[in-house]
Amino acid sequence: MHATSPRNLSLGIVCDLRKDYLAEGHSEEEVAEFDSDETVAAIESAMRSLGYRPELIGNSKALCRRLVAGNRWDLVFNIAEGLHGRSREAQSPALLELYEIPYAFSDPLTCAVTLDKAAAKKIVRYACLPTPDFAVVESAADVGTIELRCPLFVKPIAEGTGKGIGNWSLIDSPRKLRSVCIDLLRDFNQPVLVEEYLPGREFTTGILGTGSAAKVLGTMEIEIPAAGADAVYSLDAKEQCEKLVRYSPLRDRRLRFAVEKLALAAYVALECRDAGRVDIRLDARGKPSFLELNPLPGLHPTHSDLPMIATQAGMSYQSMIGAIIKSALRR
């Protein structure tokens, strides 16, 4: 990289803005993972305060147009989720690699693997890390071949932000399993992940850095007290988190050590870069188990989990954005 100081660095921002897709006729659920103007404004403000020169590029299609036109940046801050396919999060980083432009966050392989929850669990299991037993349903006929015992938990294999998840996801009978799987196959047009249900507490761990330099930022417990014991961290709960969800730091040192050790090991095994967030849940014996990993965590200053973890850890939003950029610049 030719630039020698932050003030010489141009930072392109690649993201999916909710308003752009809503204007095209997409539903609120379809754009739930995408960013608000408020999020992008906060990122730009943090970058400017750190001495960088941010420029909003837009989504992956906008990036294509700009690249073909000859536009270049010293670093691209890529948080684009994409719209179609199980490799949609890999689209922008693949384009940037094609044009040899440095970028922040994980590479195309990690973005694709982590979005496919079954693929991620296979790698985590290969690394000898605990994750619930699971099966993948690609058609109604597959339901009859599942040998897992109830209770089970089901969700679309390649969605985020709690899409396709609700209290119906908790399965207590083979009949319900078949009904819910058929509904999800129809509604999301993708395979369904069926996994052993873990009845314990739920946590999410934030991580900053890459490889041997990756460090745990902090861990936050997620509770939904008003909705009952079987309530899950669904799309509705996330969208109304200020009302429905209770977030708190994990203060039990022994448990926190176990949760964060697993989260960091999974992050490294999946070869994530710069920042990410790992979801962990306790099994019936109180042991932590890997659920899934988000290599492109939400960055709304007060509404997204990673910035909330940073706040609980005493790290400012500006410092968090700066740490992500510095991690990327080291490459």
**Per-residue pLDDT reduced to its tens digit, 277-290:** 999 999 999 999 99
User: How many residues are present in the chain?
Assistant: 331
Question: Closest by alpha carbon to 325, among 48, 15, 33, 35?
Answer: 48
**DSSP characters for 195-228?**
EEPP-S-EEEEEEESSGGG-EEEEEEEEE-GGG-
Task: Name the pairing type of β-strands 192-196 and 53-58.
Answer: unpaired
Structural domains of the chain ordered from first start: 6-104 (3.40.50.2300), 114-129+198-329 (3.30.470.20), 134-196 (3.30.1490.20)
pLDDT for res 224:
87
Which residues share a beta bridge with 204?
A: 220, 279
Q: How many CB atoms lie within 10 A of CB 226?
A: 11
SS3 13: strand
Cβ within 8 Å of residue 33, ≥6 positions away: 16, 81, 160, 161, 163
Alpha carbons within 13 A on the beta-carbon side of 11: 28
pLDDT in tens, the chain (331 residues): 444 466 689 999 999 999 999 999 988 888 888 999 999 999 999 999 999 999 999 999 999 999 999 999 999 999 999 998 889 999 999 999 999 999 999 999 999 999 999 999 999 999 999 999 999 999 999 999 999 999 999 999 999 878 899 989 999 999 999 999 999 999 999 999 999 999 999 999 999 999 999 999 999 999 987 655 446 777 777 777 778 899 999 999 999 999 999 999 999 999 999 999 999 999 999 999 999 999 999 999 999 999 999 999 999 999 999 999 999 999 8
